[in-house]
Amino acid sequence: MPAVHKLLLEEALQDSPQTRSLLSVFEEDAGTLTDYTNQLLQSMQRVYGAQSEMGLATEQLSRQLLEYEKQNFALGKGDEEVISTLQQFAKTVGELNTLHSELATQMADRMIFPMIQFREKDLTEISTLREVFGIACDEHEAAMVKYSRLPKKKENEKVKAELVGEVAYSRRKQHQASMQYYCALNTLQYRKRVAMLEPMLGYTQAQIHFYKKGMDLVSKKMDSFLVSVSSMTQSIQAQLDSEAEAMRLTQRELLSMEDTVYMPDRDPVPVNRTLIQKAGYLNIRNKTGLVTTAWDRLYFFTQGGNLMCQPRGAVAGGMVLDLDNSSVMAVECEDRRYCFQITSPSGKTSMILQAESKKEYEEWICTLNNISRQIYLTDNPEAVAIRLNQTAIQAVTPITSFEKRGEGSPNPDRAKPGGVQSSSSASQKSSSAPEPEDLIVPGTPIQFDIMLPASEFQDQNRVGGRRTNPFGETDDDCSPESDDSLLQQVFAVRFLGSMAVCSGQTQEVIYEAMRQVLAARAIHNIFRTTESHLMVTSSCLRLIDPRTQVTRISFQLQEVTQFAAHQENGRLMGFVVEGRDWSEGSEEGEPSFSAFVFESNTEGEKICYTISLGKDIIEAKKDPEALAQLMKNMPLTNDGKFLLLDSETSDTANGGAPDEEESEA
């Protein structure tokens, strides 16, 4: 016999959309069976009615045949032979009438009654359990909505305990109702076979009993078939008894679990930070008006590099957001706990989700960050996730505790061709990589934002003043030669951090600064950054506010000693600026170096190449022939400037990008 499909009782508690989808298939099967049972019962009742009518008709025929003898014919009483023949026919018809009545009784007992009992008992029970299951689910949803609204700031332990108890009670009630409903649906898969076979078995046996008295030959031909049908019915009944016992044992075992299983925020359990796949229910915030929002509880899961959502009742899930290079961060939202936000790389698409517990909240953030790094595309994503997690732990360790590490500095062999652009004055790498303590003094503070002084802001925006913008206007920070600069290129960047460094003659100091800045942001959960425009000219670098066109900070190109892009994350770049420290009292001042780390919307290599070209132009200006040769080799725009890269999107160039975005670093 083919295998019988059944619902797994172990999945009743999770109540996932996959289980609900499978449950809908069973419910559809039960509905189809109900319709078919009603139609079949009508056909059987019609057969029973015809058989009952046949008994009444044969009885009437028998009486009518006996009435022939009493008829007073005008030409005579009638033929005695005919009368005796009709009496024999009446007797035969009377005997047949007895057989037909007995057949009708057997049809009612063995065909109609089992079908009515199956419809009224089994199918009605399914309908009742379905209503009970729906009520339990609604109560659980209502309890979860109350629990999700539990405030985080003004938390009341009594209210929280009451809500937790209510959630546990409703979840247990739903669990019990779902298991009873699943058991009934599983049982129905066996019962429907018996319900279809048993009535027809009774009908056929009644017919055989009817014909046996006059047609033994027919009964002999049907014996073997009836025996096989009876044997199959007994086998199915035995399987039903065994499966029912197994389901009772499973139900008893599942109900013996502790009540903490039903609580949404259980005792603290270890958080797995190396996951690359995650699934579960989350609350998503949707806008219902200009200022109103609503929260919906939906089932989310990850598939490859996509975040999927599957509503209840849906056969399959749909993609919500592409997670590649996206950013995830914890947010405070409407006084709800465990909220986090996912933002696309462009910053134009974002969504706010709420987890059920702290463990789920932390695991979702870690999983989405792992997927954002495209770990799932590697050959062994689990091992890569574990290694990155260990690297993150090392990154937040005080630098003075580092020993010699084989992976302490970026691996040049893993760099992409052209991934790092160095200045013309870069020195040759030493045979051994410098220690982190030699590059950056332990305990060096990190600045995560560039704040424009109020006085400078007023100076640049006072009446009659000139606003600095990336389209040709300059300020006093750059040389006068920049008014007809041969190079002007604007890049959309996000400032990640800056810190003092010990040296400006090696690219290793930039890589170490990147590592410490990113590690510090991870420690303090600093994910939000401000987008700015980095203008590279042939004389200076300027960081410009895209909304106000105010220059936040500027550097002369001669002061930039090193610049490089990250060897693995091509969107990270940084540079080292040389300054003078006058605190020692010397006339010329001691040289000091500061590293600045940025994240760009384009490849960091392009920014490094542009800076390198700007320094080449500075050197070429000293020799007119060299400058002419350089201009001859490089394409120029219509206004005589160097043509380097395609213009970035109009939204970015015109300052239309969002003011603040989340860093992907």
pTM over 0.75: no
Contact status, residue 320 vs residue 307, Cβ threshold 8 Å = yes
202-211 per-position pLDDT tens digit: 888 888 888 8
For residue 299, the surrounding DSSP H or E stretch is strand 293-303
Token code pair at residue 597? 């780390």
Mean pLDDT (the chain, rounded): 77
87, pLDDT greater than 50: yes
DSSP 73: B
Region 118-147 average pLDDT: 89
Most confident of 88-92, 177-181, 393-397: 177-181
Cα separation, 99 vs 617, whole angstroms: 116
User: Do 574 and 500 meet the contact criterion of CB atoms below 8 Å apart?
Assistant: no
Q: Which of 599, 605, 618 is nearest to 661 (CA)?
A: 599
Q: What does the pLDDT read at residue 135?
A: 93
d(CA 233, CA 483): 98
pLDDT band of residue 128 (cuts 50, 70, 90) is very high
Largest CA distance in the chain: 161
Least confident interval from 238-252, 550-564, 590-604, 646-660:
646-660
How far apart are alpha carbons 231 and 240 in whole angstroms?
Answer: 14
Using 50, 70 and 90 to split pLDDT, how confident is the model at 300?
A: very high
Sign of CA dihedral 29, 34, 35, 41: positive
Share of residues in the chain with pLDDT > 90 (%): 11
DSSP 196-227: HHHHHHHHHHHHHHHHHTT-HHHHHHHHHHHH
- Count CA atoms closer than 13 A to 353's CA, side-chain side: 28
Q: What is the mean pLDDT of residues 366-395?
A: 75
Distances 72 to 68, 155, 604 between C-alpha atoms, Å: 9, 105, 123
> Is the pLDDT at 24 greater than 80, yes or no?
yes
Burial class for 94, CB neighbours closer than 10 Å (0-12, 13-18, 19+): middle
**pLDDT confidence of residue 430:** 41
**Mean pLDDT for the stretch of residues 31-52:** 90
Residue 481's SS3 state is helix
Neighbours of 345 (CB within 10 A): 18
User: Which residues are paired to 237 by β-bridges?
Assistant: none
What is the predicted pLDDT for the residue at 620? 78
**Has residue 38 got a pLDDT over 70?**
yes
CB atoms within 10 A of CB 638: 6
The three-point CA angle 584-588-590 to 5° equals 50
Q: Region 292-320: what's the mean pLDDT?
A: 88
What pLDDT does 647 receive?
42
159, pLDDT greater than 90:
no
The arithmetic mean of pLDDT across residues 292-308, rounded, is 90
Alpha carbons 204 and 199: distance in angstroms, whole number: 9
Query: What is the structure's pLDDT at 11?
Result: 82
Cα dihedral sign, 475-477-483-488: negative
pLDDT tens for each residue of 117-126: 888 888 888 8
Q: Is the pLDDT of residue 307 over 90?
A: yes
Number of neighbouring beta carbons within 10 Å of residue 125: 15
SS3 503: coil
Give the least confident one: 5-14, 612-621, 640-649.
640-649
The whole-angstrom separation of Cα 611 and Cα 622 is 18
Burial class of residue 625 (count of CB atoms within 10 Å of its CB; 0-12, 13-18, 19+): exposed
> Nearest to residue 281, comparing CAs of 260, 304, 297, 262?
297
Amino acid at 474: T
335: left (phi over 0), alpha (psi -120 to 50) or beta: left
Is residue 184 within 8 A of residue 125, CB to CB? The reply is: yes
Better-predicted residue by pLDDT, 554 or 652: 554
The 10s digit of each residue's pLDDT in 504-535 is: 888 889 988 998 888 888 777 677 777 888 98
Instruction: Estimate the share of the chain in helix, then strand, then coil, as percent rounded to the nearest 5.
Output: 50, 15, 35
Higher local confidence (pLDDT), 192 or 340: 340
Q: What is the mean pLDDT of residues 231-254?
A: 87
Contact 418, 559 (CB under 8 A): no
Using alpha carbons, select from 244, 252, 119 the residue that is nearest to residue 190.
Answer: 244
**How many C-alpha atoms does 545 have within 13 Å on its Cβ side?**
16
111 vs 200: CA distance, rounded Å: 6
Per-residue pLDDT at 658:
42
Distance CA 624, CA 531 (A): 38
Average pLDDT, integer, range 387-412: 43
Integer Cα distance of 66 and 88 in angstroms = 9
Dihedral sign (CA 194, 197, 201, 203): positive
Is 417 a residue whose pLDDT tops 70? no
Spatial separation of the C-alpha atoms in residues 126 and 122, rounded to whole Å = 6
Distance between CA 506 and CA 458 in Å, rounded? 38
Q: What is the mean pLDDT of residues 250-264?
A: 81
Mean pLDDT check: name the lowest of 134-148, 311-325, 483-497: 483-497
390 or 235: whose pLDDT is higher?
A: 235
Question: Quick check: 589 pLDDT over 90?
Answer: no
The percent of residues above 70 in pLDDT, for the chain, comes to: 76
Tokens at 29, concatenated: 């099967």
Give every CB contact of residue 478 below 8 A, 6+ residues apart in sequence.
537, 539, 540, 542, 554, 556
**pLDDT score for 563:** 93
What CA–CA distance (Å, rounded) separates 122 from 116? 10
As a whole number, mean pLDDT of residues 148-167 equals 83
Most confident of 50-59, 447-456, 478-487: 50-59
Evaluate if residue 258 carries a pLDDT over 80: no
pLDDT of residue 18: 87
List the structure tokens of 340: 């986090």
Q: What are the distances in angstroms from CA 187 to CA 174, 193, 413, 591?
A: 20, 10, 64, 84
Confidence of residue 455 (pLDDT cuts 50, 70, 90): very low
Calculate the dihedral angle through the C-alpha atoms of 135, 139, 145, 150, rounding to the nearest 10 degrees: 180
Identify the pLDDT of residue 121. 87
The three-point CA angle 155-159-161 to 5° equals: 100
Q: Which tens digit of pLDDT belongs to each residue from 215-229?
A: 654 455 556 666 766
Q: How far apart are CA 550 and CA 499, in angstroms?
A: 23
* For residues 444-472, average pLDDT: 51
